[in-house]
Structure 1
Amino acid sequence: MKKTHVKKGDQVKVIAGKAKGKTGTVLSVDAAKGKVVVEGARVMVKSTRKSEKNPDGGLIESDGPVHISNVKKLG
């Protein structure tokens, strides 16, 4: 496994890409793929059909991954 400069729970700032300037907490780290999920930095919207689990269907928002080189640890 590769060593990373951030870990789960760290406060980070996105320094490059579409989410540049946003700050948040690291929710998960995938060192093998070089990705981190930052809370509120890259919100992805997915459309879902009606089902037993989700009777109304509609849009579901979730946090998407950001490349680990595009984040800087704060503090």
Structure 2
Amino acid sequence: MRKIKKNDNVQIIAGKDKGKSGKVLHVDAAKDRVIVEGCNMVQKHQKPSPQNQNGGIVSKEGSIHVSNVALLVNGERTKVGFELRDGKKVRVAKKSGKVID
């Protein structure tokens, strides 16, 4: 089980976009990286294709290491813990003790 999942709201805590927050679009568990909506924008050069007739330079989100993001619960950064509740392993916010899922 991962501490950060798709559709979680996170805040960037290190790097050029420090302080920005957004929704997690994709989690790459093998590389421990996440893609956050509107953060770490990179430019990609694309050739013309049937989907993109003109080609050119396209801005898109780049990946960020999972250690450089913090989960937001009720607008506050918090660490994530795990507990067994009703026989299920659930994510719990360390600050408030609330179940995240």
TM-score normalised to the size of structure 1? 0.86
2:69 pairs with one of 62, 68, 71: 71
Between the two proteins, what is the percent identity of the paired residues?
A: 47
In the other structure, the counterpart of 1:4 is: 2
More strand by share: 2
Distance 2:7 2:51 in 1: 30
Aligned amino acid, residue 60 of structure 2: S
5+ residue gaps in structure 2? 74-101
Residue matched to 1:46? 44
- Using CA pairs under 8 Å that are at least 6 residues apart, name the structure with larger relative contact order, 1 or 2: 1
Q: Partners in 2 of 1:67 and 1:35 — Cα distance?
A: 4
Cα deviations by residue, 1:15-72 (Å, 9 ceiling, x for unpaired) = 0111111100000111221100000111111122334432212111211100000000
- CA-based RMSD of the aligned residues comes to 1.3
Provide the secondary structure at the position in 2 that maps to 1:21. coil
User: What is the number of residues matched between the two proteins?
Assistant: 73
Q: Aligned partners of 2:50, 2:10: CA distance in 1, in Å?
A: 38
5+ residue gaps in structure 1?
none
The runs of at least 4 aligned residues of structure 1 exceeding 4 Å deviation read none
SS of the residue 1:9 aligns to = coil
